[in-house]
């Protein structure tokens, strides 16, 4: 009897052990590995985006391989090639610029690794090189800023001289925020872009470019059109140092609507902030899971965004998440 019950116990224990081993093996097999190549850490927006991606991956139980490209396309291409070599399940990236992606995307396709774009688009003829693009409509953001400017200056004869602080040269948000503005104001001759230069989406870049603009154009500038909050904040510093009152002498238009942007609006130094949400992590992880499960995902997933004029800043800031 004792022998039988010892044998039975042994069988039970080994069955349980096999089951446990089997469970963890299959759980491990099922864990998705995502290779993510981030643009860099150039702005408060980008920092919030990185936090969103990392925490959403953790919440979704996805094994994230994260790589920071320090705003260099060659670093992103190297990271994507390394993800291919590591045979990750899915590759996602925020392309620093729009062009030049065909070769590496074809390599991912040949390796049967699906690619998801987040935040920024690529300019490729063959759109089957990526599964979906999740992020803002930058063109519409530019149009929203343009419409706000038209309304702001509707009773003024002009000229309205705009100094533009562009984002990274060749990036989707820089291209589209410029194009969106032009689309709206191009038929209104009172709006003139008198200066346009890249500040690379950084505070230091925005400050440096604005210092030069202030020296060359001084009081001729009516509007600073900054492609993001970091550059707007840098431009504010430069204007103040040059004796110009941002928000009063010069209308400041910005993008992102970060907490820093809101604080500047409350201080009366940014007049309007067009929202661009960096909180893309949860949508990205859900698309990654769907793609791995073989489900159809829409080719374009557009983020919901709005426009914040300075008069709503104080009441809105407490609910801002980035």
**Structure token digits, residue 170:** 């060749």
Considering only residues 68 through 107, tell me which ones interact with ligand AHR, judged by CB under 6 A: none
Q: Judge contact between 159 and 167, C-beta under 8 A.
A: no
User: Quick one: 232 or 288, whose CB is closer to ligand AHR?
Assistant: 232
Judged by CB under 6 A, the residue of 35, 36, 42, 199 near ligand AHR is 42
Q: Judge contact between 257 and 274, C-beta under 8 A.
A: yes
User: Quick one: 258 or 271, whose CB is closer to ligand AHR?
Assistant: 258
Minimum distance of ligand AHR from residue 41's CB (angstroms): 9
User: Quick one: 43 or 222, whose CB is closer to ligand AHR?
Assistant: 43
Give the length of the chain.
Answer: 322
Helix (H) or strand (E) holding 59: helix 44-60
Minimum distance of ligand AHR from residue 121's CB (angstroms): 10
**Structure token digits, residue 308:** 């914040």
Minimum distance of ligand AHR from residue 141's CB (angstroms): 9
User: Quick one: 64 or 233, whose CB is closer to ligand AHR?
Assistant: 233
Q: Beta strand pairing status for 272-275 and 307-309?
A: antiparallel
Q: Does 173 bind ligand AHR (CB under 6 A)?
A: yes
Listed ranges 41-49, 95-103, 126-134, 208-216: which one lies at the site for ligand AHR (CB under 6 A): 41-49
Q: Does 46 bind ligand AHR (CB under 6 A)?
A: yes
Determine the Cα angle at 171 with ends 170 and 174, to 5°: 95
Q: Does 56 bind ligand AHR (CB under 6 A)?
A: no
Q: What is the DSSP letter of 67?
A: E
Distance from C-alpha of 315 to C-alpha of 322, rounded to nearest angstrom: 15
Instruction: Please state the φ and ψ torsions of residue 171, each to the nearest 5 degrees.
Output: -85, 155
Report CA Rg, the chain: 25
Listed ranges 43-51, 73-81, 291-299, 306-314: which one lies at the site for ligand AHR (CB under 6 A): 43-51
Listed ranges 39-47, 59-67, 179-187, 204-212: which one lies at the site for ligand AHR (CB under 6 A): 39-47
Site size for ligand AHR (CB under 6 A): 12
CB atoms within 10 A of CB 296: 9
Judged by CB under 6 A, the residue of 84, 120, 198, 221 near ligand AHR is 120
Minimum distance of ligand AHR from residue 107's CB (angstroms): 24
Distance from C-alpha of 147 to C-alpha of 203, rounded to nearest angstrom: 26
Q: Which residues sit opposite 35 in a β-bridge?
A: 65, 91
Q: Does 207 bind ligand AHR (CB under 6 A)?
A: no
Q: Does 45 bind ligand AHR (CB under 6 A)?
A: yes
Q: Judge contact between 239 and 222, C-beta under 8 A.
A: no
Q: Which residues sit opposite 63 in a β-bridge?
A: 33
User: Quick one: 141 or 250, whose CB is closer to ligand AHR?
Assistant: 141
Distance from C-alpha of 94 to C-alpha of 98, rounded to nearest angstrom: 10
Q: Judge contact between 95 and 76, C-beta under 8 A.
A: yes
Q: Which residue has the tokens 């063109």?
A: 139
Judged by CB under 6 A, the residue of 38, 208, 228, 251 near ligand AHR is 228
Distance from C-alpha of 135 to C-alpha of 305, rounded to nearest angstrom: 10
User: Quick one: 96 or 113, whose CB is closer to ligand AHR?
Assistant: 96
Q: Does 200 bind ligand AHR (CB under 6 A)?
A: no
Tell me the per-residue interface mask from 248 to 267 with ligand AHR, x by CB under 6 A, - otherwise: -------xx-----------
> Which chain residues interact with ligand AHR by CB under 6 A?
42-43, 45-46, 119-120, 173, 201, 228, 255-256, 276
């Amino acid at each position: 009897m004792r022998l039988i019950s010892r044998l039975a116990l042994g069988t039970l224990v080994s069955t349980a052990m096999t089951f446990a081993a089997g469970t963890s093996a299959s759980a491990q097999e099922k864990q998705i590995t995502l290779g993510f190549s981030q643009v860099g850490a150039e702005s408060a927006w980008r920092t919030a985006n990185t936090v969103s991606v990392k925490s959403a991956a953790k919440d979704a139980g996805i094994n994230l391989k994260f790589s920071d490209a320090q705003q260099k396309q060659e670093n992103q291409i190297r990271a994507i090639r390394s993800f291919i070599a590591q045979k990750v399940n899915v590759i996602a990236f925020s392309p620093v610029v729009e062009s030049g992606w065909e070769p590496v995307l074809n390599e991912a396709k040949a390796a049967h690794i699906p690619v998801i774009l987040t935040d920024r688009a690529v300019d490729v003829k063959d759109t089957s090189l990526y599964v979906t693009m999740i992020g803002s409509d930058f063109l519409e953001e530019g149009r929203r800023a343009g419409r706000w400017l038209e309304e702001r200056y509707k009773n003024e004869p002009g000229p309205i001289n705009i100094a533009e602080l562009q984002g990274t040269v060749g990036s989707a948000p820089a291209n589209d925020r410029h194009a969106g503005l032009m689309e709206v104001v191009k038929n209104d001759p009172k709006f003139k872009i008198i200066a346009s230069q890249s500040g690379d989406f950084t505070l230091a870049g925005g400050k440096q470019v604005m210092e030069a603009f202030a020296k060359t154009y001084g009081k001729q500038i009516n509007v600073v059109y900054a492609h993001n909050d970091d550059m707007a904040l840098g431009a504010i510093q430069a204007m103040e140092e040059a004796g110009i009152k941002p928000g009063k002498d010069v209308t400041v238009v910005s993008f992102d609507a970060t907490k820093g942007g809101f604080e500047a609006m409350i201080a009366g130094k940014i007049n309007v902030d067009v929202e661009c949400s960096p909180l893309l992590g949860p949508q990205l992880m859900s698309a990654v899971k769907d793609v791995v499960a073989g489900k159809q995902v829409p080719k374009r997933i557009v983020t919901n965004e709005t426009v914040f004029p300075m008069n709503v800043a104080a009441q809105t800031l407490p609910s801002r998440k980035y």
